[in-house]
Amino acid sequence: MADETRILVTDDSEINLEIESALIENRWGIPCDTAISGEAAIKCCNERIYGLILMDYLMPGMNGIDTAKNIKTTKWNFKTPIVALTGSDDEDTAKELLEQGFADVLIKPIDEQAIAKVFDKYIGISAANNRGGSEHTGAILGSLYEVDGLDVAGGLKNVAGNRDSYIKSLRILKDKLPEANERISSSLLKSDMERARLYLHSMKSSLANVGFAAVSKQAAELEKSVIENNADYYDHNIGAFSDALEHMGKSLEKVFSANAGMTYKASGNEDEFLKIISDMLALFDNFNFMEAKELALSLTEVNYGNRLNKVAVELISALDVFDYEKASTIIKNTLN
C-alpha cells in the first residue's frame, strides 16, 4: 500500500518511539508506523511504501546500518529516503552514517527545526499542524513538576505538547527502569562492553527525551568511558548512576500512585482562565509568588482547551525557575 506522507520510525526504545511518533503526528499531523527493531522495520517495509523512514542507527541485533541496507533491497522502499537517528552529536558519527548511505542525520532528542527541514526536503511538508493531542492527563502534570531533575516543559515540547504521550512515556520509563538498571550494571560486571554501551546509549536518549537531562548526561559519560575502555571512570561512577535511576523510579512511582485514575476535575471556559491569570498578575505586584504558583497549578486540573492548557504549562515552567518576568509576559500576551 502506498502512502507518500506516512513515516516509519524505528528505535529500540519504546520511550523514544512514543515521543518521536507523537512529535511527528501532533506537530505536523503526519501518520506514523513504529518498529522496535531492524527486523520489524524490514517487515513493515515489505508491506507498505513510506514517504520517509527514520532509523535509529545503534540497536541490538540488527543495527540501523544493516537494516537500512536490507530495506534498500525491498520491493516497495528501495528508493525511500532513510534518515539516521542518533544520540551522538559528533561530526565523525554523522560523516560515517552519510557514507553508509543514509540520506540525512538527526540528533536525539529531535529538534523541531531540524526535523522540519528534513520533512520539507524529502516529503515536501513544511507547515506545522500542531493538533495538540487529547486532554485527559492534566491533573497529574502539577505533581510531575515536583520530581527532582525532571524538565516537564522540555519533555512536553519533545511531544509537541501532547500530555497523553508524555505521561505514557514516563510510565514506560518507570516500569523499565529496574530492568534497565540491572542490565547496565550486570553488563559492566561481566565486562560485556558492547551490551553495556547499547544499554547506556538507549538510556541516554530516553532520559533526554522525557526531560531528565542531568541523568542523561551521566549515561553519556558512562557510555563514553565504555567506548574508551576507561574502567576507572565507570567503576567509580556506575554506583551513583544506578542510585540516580533508582531514585528517579521511586519519584515517578510516587507521582503515579498518588494520581492513579485522576484526570481533569472539570472543564472550564476562557473567561475563568483569564480571571485566574489576572489574579496572578496582582499577586506578582504584591510579591505573593507562592500563591501565584498555586493558582498556576490549579489551572492544570481544569480542561480549558489546547491553547490555554499550553499557556498553563508555560506559566508553571517559568515559575519553576523563578522567572516572574517571563511569567508576567506570558500572562499579558494571553490577556491581550
pLDDT digits (tens, 9 = 90+) for 258-315: 766 555 566 788 999 999 999 999 999 888 888 888 888 788 778 787 788 778 878 8
**Helices and strands, number each (H, E), in the chain:** 15, 7
Q: Do domains 2-123 and 152-258 have the same CATH topology?
A: no
Give percent of the chain with pLDDT exceeding 70.
91
Average of per-residue pLDDT across 23-51: 93
Average of per-residue pLDDT across 195-216: 95
What number of other Cβ atoms are within 10 A of residue 328's Cβ?
A: 18
Q: Which amino acid is at 122?
A: Y
CATH class, range 152-258: mainly alpha
The 3-state DSSP class for residue 165 equals: helix
Alpha carbon distance 319, 323 (integer Å):
6
With 0-12 CB in 10 A as exposed, 13-18 as middle and 19+ as buried, what is 99? exposed
Residue 135: alpha-carbon gap to chain centroid: 18
Beta strands (DSSP E) in the chain are: 2-10, 32-35, 49-56, 82-86, 104-107, 266-267, 302-303
| pLDDT value of residue 224 | 95
**Mind listing the pLDDT tens digit for each residue in 226-261?**
999 999 999 999 999 999 999 999 999 988 887 665
Residue with C-alpha cell 547499547?
Answer: 198
Cell representation of residue 97:
552514517
State yes or no: pLDDT of 217 exceeds 60. Answer: yes
State yes or no: pLDDT of 136 exceeds 70. Answer: no
| pLDDT value of residue 313 | 78
| pLDDT value of residue 134 | 43
Instruction: With CA atoms as reference, report the closest residue to 112 among 30, 29, 20, 202.
Output: 20
Q: Which amino acid is at 125?
A: I
Alpha carbon distance 16, 56 (integer Å):
10
220 within 8 A of 233, measured Cβ to Cβ: no
Q: Which amino acid is at 250?
A: K
| pLDDT value of residue 336 | 86
The sign of the CA dihedral 333, 149, 146, 161 is positive
The 3-state DSSP class for residue 41 equals: helix
C-alpha atoms less than 13 angstroms from C-alpha of 68 in its C-beta half-sphere: 27
| pLDDT value of residue 11 | 96
State yes or no: pLDDT of 132 exceeds 90. Answer: no
Ranges of each domain in the chain: 2-123, 152-258, 264-335
147 within 8 A of 320, measured Cβ to Cβ: no
Mean pLDDT for all residues in the chain: 88
Stated pTM of the model? 0.75
Query: The domain 2-123 is classified under which CATH number: 3.30.413.10, 1.20.1600.10, 3.40.50.11740, 3.40.50.2300?
Result: 3.40.50.2300
